């Protein structure tokens, strides 16, 4: 028996996922009207679409400022999108503000792994390798241990690898991917600067 997909089911799914009307209808048809399964289908498609969009040029966007704790920490961040229309979109603006707060709270040093200078990567690898050997770990396991500790290093120092402060189950890269999926444009963090009063003085 074919389940009838009503307009109210489509509307509810749209509100829950931010996906387009036709996509919601298709997902409901595909899952026999099961909205929980339809959400999974839409998320999978959204992330696939986000991956496709991630090569597109981003030259519009926003610069946002976030001042925390009575002026003790300040962040400036530039996040880019494809069109001026999206730069004015409330969801995009909320994302940029969340990213500024992330930088204030989690102190990343780089946007992504690609930005970490090669000499820093080499230095960290050597430190972790020496630590592993000093801890008496067998040589053949040292590489695995180094990789594990490098992943943790990237999680601490690279914005995109960090757990998102509002939902640590996902990374900042996942958060941006979800927004690319629902907003429908490529989004990229271009740069940020974080000031903490009195540091390095």
pLDDT in tens, 127-185: 999 998 888 888 878 888 899 999 999 999 999 999 999 999 999 999 999 999 889 89
The reported pLDDT for the residue numbered 57 is: 77
CATH topology of domain 117-157: GTP Cyclohydrolase I; Chain A, domain 1 (1.10.286)
| Cβ atoms of residues 181 and 174 within 8 Å | no
- Separation between Cα atoms, residue 113 and residue 95, nearest integer Å: 21
CATH class of domain segment(s) 7-53: mainly alpha
- Separation between Cα atoms, residue 128 and residue 145, nearest integer Å: 8
Best-predicted range by mean pLDDT (31-35, 117-121, 135-139): 117-121
Give all strands (DSSP E) within 95-182, no chain letters.
163-164, 167-171
What are residue 185's DSSP bridge partners?
none
Torsion of the alpha carbons at 196, 197, 198 and 200, rounded to the nearest 10: 30
The pair of three-digit structure tokens given for residue 10, joined into one six-digit string: 């489509």
| Cβ atoms of residues 56 and 63 within 8 Å | no
Instruction: Output 172 or 15, whichever has higher pLDDT.
Output: 172
The reported pLDDT for the residue numbered 62 is: 95
The pair of three-digit structure tokens given for residue 92, joined into one six-digit string: 């995009």
Return residue ranges of the chain for CATH 1.10.286.20.
117-157
The pTM assigned to this predicted structure is 0.71
Return residue ranges of the chain for CATH 1.10.8.10.
7-53
The reported pLDDT for the residue numbered 48 is: 61
Return residue ranges of the chain for CATH 3.30.479.20.
60-111+158-196
Mean pLDDT confidence for 3-19: 81
CATH topology of domain 60-111+158-196: Tetrahydropterin Synthase; Chain A (3.30.479)
């Amino acid at each position: 028996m074919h389940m009838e997909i009503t307009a109210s089911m489509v509307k509810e799914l749209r509100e829950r996922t931010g996906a387009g009307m036709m996509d919601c209808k298709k997902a409901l048809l595909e899952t026999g009207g099961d909205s929980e399964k339809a959400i999974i289908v839409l998320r999978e498609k959204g992330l696939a679409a986000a991956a496709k969009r991630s090569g597109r040029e981003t030259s519009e966007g926003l610069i946002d400022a976030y001042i925390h704790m009575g002026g003790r920490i300040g962040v400036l961040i530039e996040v880019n999108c494809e069109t001026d229309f999206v730069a004015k979109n409330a969801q995009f603006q909320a994302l940029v503000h969340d990213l500024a707060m992330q930088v204030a709270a989690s102190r990343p040093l780089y946007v992504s792994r690609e930005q970490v200078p090669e000499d820093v990567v080499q230095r960290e690898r050597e430190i972790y390798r020496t630590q592993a050997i000093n801890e008496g770990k067998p040589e053949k396991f040292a590489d695995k241990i180094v990789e594990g500790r490098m992943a943790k290093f990237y999680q601490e120092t690279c914005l995109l690898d960090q757990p998102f402060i509002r939902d640590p189950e996902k990374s900042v890269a996942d958060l941006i991917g979800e927004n690319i999926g629902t907003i429908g444009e490529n989004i990229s963090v271009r740069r940020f600067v974080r000031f903490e009063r009195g540091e390095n003085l």
